């Protein structure tokens, strides 16, 4: 059995209201760092608040070490939570803020001192223990919130968008620090964010949510390279996946995906999955980095179409080409041809058959 089990979890805010969290199921292993990722309103924060006990559960169960916790008070769940606002006491010193949950537990004074200093060392704020929150930067206040959360040695370490109030540079630094602390403490951590680059950089696994449902659970590379739904393929990746409306045709013993401005031969490894869609519409998804452009107009068996470069966005390590296929704006990621200029004409071949097909009605991957 997994360390944390979420079983058929449901949440409504009114008796006959919509399901904000819709029968979700997920298992989390001890010591794992999992990220709940999704757009605003998808149910990720509501889910983490039900785990912490700050929201009542409408249906389903939450088990830690095989025991249900849904009827326990928040303080009895062995859970620590860091909020978006940090929620540290402005009238208390850093030391007293960190010590506060231990005092509530009536831990002996000597042990409190040892554990406060241990937590401060882990977050590298030992020199700030006598200061007040108003005397510190946002990053330092965030470290105080982390220290207060880990000082109680929780079974679960929950973080609800804890970096969203920091500037971009500090966010990058602090997410590395959070992963380091997680590893050193050996904690089981759940991190909520809507920032996909943040999720990809720190997660052991990502649970992607949309409209109260789980779209996919997997490692960062699994959700990126093997997206289970159109939503995941669209949500994960910068620039996002390019999508084309295609119709599947059979000709000369091959299947073809054809649409406005392109015609692409379906790879043999996908032929059996795509064949039931012959004569029907399907969504064709291609990540920008898998579109290989050729200024000398080379066309391979994986040829998609010719492209006219409208704009070029230099990114230092690579360039983004802005072009169109039919009426759709398309972005192409290139390292090899960063010197291309607007107005250039190129052919486009798909690398290693790296395409994805999605059912138009269900949004699920065809494979």
Query: Are residues 191 and 116 part of one domain?
Result: yes
Q: pLDDT by residue (tens digit) across 113-137?
A: 999 998 898 888 999 999 998 898 8
364 found inside a domain:
no
What is the average pLDDT score of the chain?
93
189 shares a domain with 313 = no
Residues 163 and 256 occupy one common structural domain:
no
Q: pLDDT of 345-367, one tens digit each?
A: 999 999 988 999 999 999 999 98
Average pLDDT over residues 96-110: 91
Instruction: Provide mean pLDDT across the span 151-158.
Output: 88
Pairwise CA distance, residues 284 & 320, whole Å: 20
My answer on whether 59 and 204 are in the same domain is yes
Q: Is residue 365 part of a domain?
A: no
Burial of 110 (0-12, 13-18, 19+ CB in 10 A): exposed
pLDDT at 1: 67
183 has a pLDDT exceeding 70? yes
Is residue 64 a contact partner of residue 156, using CB atoms and an 8 Å limit? yes
Residue 267: inside a domain: yes
Q: Is the pTM of this model over 0.85?
A: yes
* Domain identity same for 248 and 142: no
Same domain for 209 and 250: no
Q: Which two tokens stand for residue 126?
A: 């030992």
Question: Quick one: which of 189, 200, 281, 268 has its CA closest to 237?
Answer: 200
* Longest Cα separation, the chain: 82
Cα angle vertex 225, ends 329, 161, to 5°?
85
- The domain that holds 288 is classified in CATH as 2.40.50.140
Q: Are the C-beta atoms of 93 and 100 separated by less than 8 Å? A: no
Q: Could you report the per-residue pLDDT of 18-59, keeping only the tens digit for each?
A: 999 999 999 999 999 999 999 999 999 999 999 999 999 999
Domain boundary among 204, 235, 266: 235
Which range of residues forms the domain containing residue 98?
A: 4-235
Q: Are residues 83 and 129 in the same domain?
A: yes
**Same domain as 73, residue 127:** yes
**Boundary of a domain, candidates 172, 206, 235:** 235
Look at residue 367 and tell me if it is in a domain: no
Position 129 in a domain: yes
Q: What is the DSSP letter of 54?
A: S
Q: Could you tell me if 117 and 255 lie in one domain? A: no
CATH number at residue 35: 3.40.50.300
Both 210 and 334 in a single domain?
no
Q: If DSSP codes are grouped into helix, strand and coil, which group holds residue 243?
A: strand
pLDDT per position as a tens digit, 2-15: 899 999 999 999 98
Number of domains present in the structure of the chain:
2
> Are 249 and 317 within one domain?
yes
User: Which of 170, 201, 235 lies at the terminal end of a domain, its last residue?
Assistant: 235
Mean pLDDT of 139-159: 87
68 and 18 in a single domain? The answer is yes
């Amino acid at each position: 059995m997994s360390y944390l089990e979420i079983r058929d979890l449901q949440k409504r805010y009114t008796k006959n209201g919509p399901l904000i969290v819709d029968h979700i199921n997920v298992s989390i292993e001890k010591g794992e760092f999992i990220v709940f990722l999704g757009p605003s309103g998808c149910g990720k924060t509501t889910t983490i608040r039900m785990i912490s006990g700050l929201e009542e559960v409408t249906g389903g169960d939450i088990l830690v070490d095989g025991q249900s916790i849904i009827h326990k008070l928040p303080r009895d769940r062995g859970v620590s939570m860091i909020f978006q606002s940090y929620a540290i006491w402005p009238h208390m010193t850093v030391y007293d803020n960190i010590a506060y949950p231990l005092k509530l537990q009536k831990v002996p004074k000597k042990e409190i001192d040892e554990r406060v200093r241990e937590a401060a060392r882990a977050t590298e704020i030992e020199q700030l223990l006598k200061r007040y929150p108003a005397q510190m930067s946002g990053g330092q206040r965030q470290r105080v919130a982390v220290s207060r959360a880990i000082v109680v040695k929780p079974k679960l370490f929950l973080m609800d968008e804890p970096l969203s109030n920091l500037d971009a540079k500090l966010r990058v630094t602090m997410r590395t620090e959070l992963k380091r602390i997680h590893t050193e403490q050996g904690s089981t951590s759940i991190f909520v964010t809507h920032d996909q680059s943040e999720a990809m950089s720190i997660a052991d696994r990502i649970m992607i949510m949309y409209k109260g449902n789980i779209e996919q659970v997997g490692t960062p590379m699994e959700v990126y390279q093997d997206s289970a739904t159109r939503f995941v393929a669209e949500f994960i990746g910068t620039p996002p996946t390019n999508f084309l409306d295609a119709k599947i045709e059979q000709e000369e013993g091959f299947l073809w995906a054809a649409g406005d401005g392109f015609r692409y031969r379906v790879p043999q490894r996908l032929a059996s999955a795509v064949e039931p869609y012959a004569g029907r519409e399907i969504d064709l998804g291609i990540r920008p980095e898998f579109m290989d452009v050729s200024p000398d107009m080379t066309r391979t068996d994986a040829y998609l179409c010719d492209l006219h470069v409208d704009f070029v966005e230099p990114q230092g390590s690579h360039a983004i080409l802005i072009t169109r296929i039919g009426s759709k704006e398309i972005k192409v990621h290139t390292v090899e041809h960063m010197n291309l200029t607007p107005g250039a004409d190129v052919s486009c071949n798909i690398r290693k058959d790296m395409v994805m097909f999605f059912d138009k009605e269900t949004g699920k991957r065809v494979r």
